[in-house]
Structure 1
Amino acid sequence: MPEFSAPSRRGILFGTAAVSAGALITGCTSNEPEKKDSAAPANAPVADGAPGKAVTIGFAGPQADHGWLNAINDNAKQRAKKYSDVTLEITEGSNDTAAQIGQVQTLINKKVDVLVILPADGKALTQVGLQAMKAGIPVINLDRIFASPQAYRCWIGGDNYGMGLNAGNYIGEQLKDKPDAKVVELAGVDNLELTKQRTQGFDDALKNYPNIRKVARQAADFTVESGQAKMAQLLQAQSDFDALWNHDDDQGVGALRAIAQAGRKDFIMVGGAGAKSAMDAIKADNSVLKATVLYPPTMAASAIDIARAVAQGKGVGGMAEMEIPASITLYSAVVTKDNVAQYLPTGFI
């Protein structure tokens, strides 16, 4: 795609200070004095909780018809409330790409200072991201990535491959001493790239454990009902296996129902995303669910931090570079009964 000319608000599109991915959640609310780094520019402005230039952030996401998507909206709203200098313009949200494009265009016409967009379809919304950037409105692309890096100033999202990789490694460690161990996989929506990445990460992790074979895979639809139906099919087809990797905790609620109805307790289950219901079950330790791999909806709060910093021409601290990174990939931590208390506050409903 041809490169477009730099917009007049170039200084906004390219922040004038540094950001640390690990500091995104805490760096913007800290009132502690910034520690000087001799390697960093002495005059580099860093965003903190103190009021600064008034900023209007437009937030456009898909319809919140899933626990994780609802948590995305909640994280964005709650984060924006922490800043007296931030006004959040949030759209109704839609899974219809044409409707979401229209919502983003409305925000562009309102001349918001910066946009945070979680597209229902990254490829389909790329052009409207480019439109915003050309209009001098920096775009923070949340999770589902646009087809062109010219359509966003910064991308922040989860690590789908890492989810599968860490789930596979956790299961591998639990079964590494069991000869001829068998695992099954309850995937998400098969035509989504994220589902393919989660499966690929899982398969790659299992390559490190030659004693383990994946004997079945079934795709569900990220809903409780589909999780129950597809898990029931897996249980009927596979009378003997040692572990289950379930891509999504919402469909995992249904999967657990099917497992309980079948009276099965002979395997361990690892979930995905980090729902509160999953963490509660892990903490209670009274079911086959022993772990979940995070896909943190707190990324929406971090996106608000980044948007505020970019619009104010600041960074959020931590690195020697002058610029906010072009992309930030969050880590998929494995939550077990040993660390669930630490992560439970982030669990979504």
Structure 2
Amino acid sequence: MLENVSGSARPARRGFLLGAAALGAGGMLSACTSNELPQSTSAGAAPAANASSTPGKHVTIGFAGPLADHGWLNAINVNATERAASYEDVTFETTEGSNDTAQQIGQVETLINKQVDVLIILPADGKALTQVGLRAMEAGIPVINLDRIFDSPQAYRTWIGGDNYGMGLNAGRYIGEQLKDKPEATVVELAGLDNLELTQQRTRGFDDALKNYPNIRKVARQAADFTVESGQAKMAQLLQAVPRFDAIWNHDDDQGIGAERAIAQAGRDEFFMVGGAGSLHAMEAIQADNTVLKATVLYPPTMAASAVDLARALGQGTGVSGLAEHEIPTSLALYSAVVSKENVADYIATGFV
């Protein structure tokens, strides 16, 4: 069902965010430990830097990640695997990716039974996997909770992930700056799965940003399912329902491919689109500057490479280079940079397929 929008209440921002924008998408975290690594030319793992060539204590890292049924989720797996392979002193124990919570719980329990040194878990459902995270911590295995957060901070040693509220906020600010001089501007929103907290946070951030631009009104919102097919179907509904608007905020670049198809089929080009996540397809379209897609807001899959850095640091008992504290932080929220034609050359190597 198409949702007509007139505004929303301002939420409390996620309380555990650390001002980690300066850490970027993993550059500073890559100096957690003590190996000198070659610069990666892959669009997967971010490069490591600033370290000794001498390997440290051997660490076995267990990784329970998602089923790679989406470009961003596949990039998570690629980043983690490539980063781990770059360390001589890391053994990487992976499970078959799963979006089924019961199966993923069983996979994590297998890694616990193998007595890995550190666990990295991107849960299919943070709430459902909280108990198994607690079991790992109680067994003396520190857990890096990747992105989708567990219900209890006792279930993980460190959380690292994207800033969903900030993603929506920066999308709204970018759109606001482009339309600030246009009287009675209108925008629409193509969201993700509405039953996910991350989708709700992205919408809240977007709505809060638009409050700073009284000339802009959000006139419609449609929730899709993070797939190409849903993006095309839901975008077609938006286009039919709203005969004219000035901009669209699309939460996800994968569903954005479908949205672009619907836009082309409708022959519409009176608006510009801002995407989300940072796919290679989106960045190439932005660079070519020949479609309505003019920007994307990053949700960096390089967080998985940084999670490996943090896991290795935990296993070796070291801290993060550049911070005074001996221990690594308890939470790191990555910054959602806006990539546009002006800076796409700086980011295109990180685009995921």
- TM-score computed with the length of structure 1 as normaliser: 0.89
Structure 1 unmatched ranges of 5 or more? 1-19, 33-45
Helix, strand or coil: the match of 2:190? strand
Take 1:310 and 1:29, find their aligned partners in 2: how far apart are those partners? 12
Shift of 1:245: 0.1
Take 2:226 and 2:273, find their aligned partners in 1: how far apart are those partners? 16
- TM-score computed with the length of structure 2 as normaliser: 0.88
Q: Specify the alignment match of 1:17 in structure 2.
A: none
Shift of 1:26: 4.9
Return the match for 1:147 from 151, 167, 184: 151
Contact 1:275–1:347 (CA<8 Å) still a contact in 2?
Answer: yes
Take 1:30 and 1:283, find their aligned partners in 2: how far apart are those partners? 35
Alignment of 1:193-272 (within 5 A): 193-272=197-276
Shift of 1:320: 1.3
Take 1:172 and 1:50, find their aligned partners in 2: how far apart are those partners? 49
Return the match for 1:290 from 288, 294, 307: 294
Shift of 1:98: 0.5
Q: Which amino acid aligns with 2:197?
A: E
Take 1:272 and 1:152, find their aligned partners in 2: how far apart are those partners? 27
Take 1:93 and 1:278, find their aligned partners in 2: how far apart are those partners? 25
What whole-Å deviation, never above 9, does each CA across 1:66-114 have from its counterpart, x for those lacking one?
0000000000000001100001001001111000000000000000000
Q: Percent identity?
A: 78
Contact 2:319–2:325 (CA<8 Å) still a contact in 1?
Answer: no
Shift of 1:323: 1.6
Change in 2 beyond 3 A, CA 1:77/1:98: same
Contact 1:127–1:151 (CA<8 Å) still a contact in 2?
Answer: yes
1:25 equivalent in alignment to 2:27: no
1:53 equivalent in alignment to 2:57: yes
Take 1:233 and 1:261, find their aligned partners in 2: how far apart are those partners? 12
CA RMSD of aligned residues (A): 1.5
Take 1:174 and 1:25, find their aligned partners in 2: how far apart are those partners? 35
Q: Specify the alignment match of 1:181 in structure 2.
A: 185
Counting matched residue pairs gives 317
Alignment of 1:77-156 (within 5 A): 77-156=81-160
1:63 equivalent in alignment to 2:67: yes
Contact 1:47–1:315 (CA<8 Å) still a contact in 2?
Answer: no
Take 1:81 and 1:302, find their aligned partners in 2: how far apart are those partners? 13
1:168 equivalent in alignment to 2:169: no
Helix, strand or coil: the match of 1:278? helix
Take 1:197 and 1:84, find their aligned partners in 2: how far apart are those partners? 39
Task: Please identify the structure whose Cα radius of gyration is greater.
Answer: 1
Helix, strand or coil: the match of 2:149? coil
